[in-house]
Amino acid sequence: MTIKTKLFLILPLIGMLSCGKAKNEEKGSEDKASSVSVTIKGSDTVLPLAQKEAEEMMKTNPEVSVTIVGGGTGVGVTALLDGTTDIAMASRELKTEEKLKFSEAKKEIETVTIAFDALAIIVNPANKVGQLTREQLEKIYTGQIKNWKEVGGEDAKIVAYSRESSSGTYEFFKEEVMDKKNYASDILSMPATGAIVQAVSQTKGAIGYVGLAYETKEVKQLSVSYDQGKTFVAPSVASAKDKSYPISRPLFYIFDKANAAKVKTVVDYALSPEGQKNVSEVGYVPLK
């Protein structure tokens, strides 16, 4: 065999290797293109549910990558407006001024209810008080009631904890429990729901409010009355489901309709039987 013939045999082989490599690179780029990265930001109340659902969803949808950040409903809504998140988690409905901002930005927004929550009033386990009326809660958080002895407890100062104003739970509590009155100036604002649980568990005279999924033995939940003390109901999945517990609310995913295709897998999973099973496991109330 001549050298010339050997070259002809080698060249087609190089050509075949090149083709093979090109196809693999093309396939890699196709896989990369088909993968989706979704960012979810907002409500600390929705946070544990979103995390659980993302973990479970990614097991069967490995092409979807989900990043989740808390910080409060207001943070999520602002991020959605700025285009720095795909989905905003919310524990309240959009405010009129927020809707106006989306309208001005020419963004058409979709709001999807993914679960329901009962807002639990919590105190330190050492506290003898086991129930409060809505009116008493309003007076505690507006600063009119300052000592536990005024509501049947020990002679001890009330240390009231709240979420920050960017929180949907802060807004919901103000609307539904405080009858839209302003918080007292000495209320202690916390950056996250978990921080409220920790503070109340460590402070004897403390009181706070948290989503049902944050229930723990480290704190005590109070029964609440919305009929001037005639009936008191404790927060639970069952009492939220049958609506006997008065402080319950929907939880939302909010997204830009222009982005619907990108977030479809995440939203569909949240509404699926599997996703709703996660709702119960986390400690919230499923849609059905």
255 and 180 within one domain: no
219 and 133 within one domain: yes
Return the pLDDT at 3: 41
Domain assignment of residue 254, yes or no: yes
217 and 257 within one domain: no
111 and 151 within one domain: no
9: pLDDT strictly greater than 50: no
124 and 220 within one domain: yes
254 and 187 within one domain: no
pLDDT > 90: percent of the chain:
86
pLDDT > 70: percent of the chain:
88
Mean pLDDT estimate for the chain:
90
155 and 107 within one domain: no
230 and 174 within one domain: yes
For residue 234, what are the CA distances in angstroms to 118, 119, 120, 131, 199? 10, 10, 8, 8, 21
Tell me what the mean pLDDT of segment 147-169 comes to.
97
Domain hosting 158: range is 118-241
- Give pLDDT tens digits for 240-256: 989 899 999 999 999 99
Task: Work out the pLDDT band at 34, boundaries 50, 70, 90.
Answer: low
Contact (Cβ atoms closer than 8 angstroms) between residue 66 and residue 54: yes
Here the tokens at position 102 are 């989306």
Between 116 and 11, the more confident residue is 116
Residue 69: CATH number of its domain: 3.40.190.10
Give the integer Cα–Cα distance in Å for 85 and 256. 10
Domain assignment of residue 9, yes or no: no
What DSSP line would sit under the chain, residue for residue?
--HHHHHHHHHHHHHHHHHHHHHHHHHHHHHHHH-EEEEEEE-TTTHHHHHHHHHHHHHH-TTEEEEEE-S-HHHHHHHHHHTS-SEEEESSPPPHHHHHHHHHTT--EEEEEEEEEEEEEEE-TT----EEEHHHHHHHHTTS--BGGGGTS-S-B-EEEEE-TT-HHHHHHHHHTSTTPPPPTT-EEESSHHHHHHHHHH-TTEEEEEEGGG--TTSEEPEEESSTTS--B---HHHHHTT-SSSEEEEEEEEEGGGHHHHHHHHHHHHSHHHHHHHHHHTSB---
Domain assignment of residue 201, yes or no: yes
Domain assignment of residue 30, yes or no: no
User: In total, how many domains does the chain have?
Assistant: 2
**Model-level pTM?**
0.84
- Residue whose tokens read 């460590």: 202
What DSSP line would sit under 150-201, residue for residue?
GGTS-S-B-EEEEE-TT-HHHHHHHHHTSTTPPPPTT-EEESSHHHHHHHHH
Domain assignment of residue 24, yes or no: no
128 and 89 within one domain: no
Domain assignment of residue 53, yes or no: yes
Domain assignment of residue 191, yes or no: yes
Other beta carbons within 10 Å of 238: 12
- Give pLDDT tens digits for 85-123: 999 999 999 999 999 999 999 999 999 999 999 999 999
98 HSE (CA, 13 A, CB side): 21
124 and 49 within one domain: no
Going by C-alpha positions, the residue among 117, 72, 93 that lies closest to residue 248 is: 117
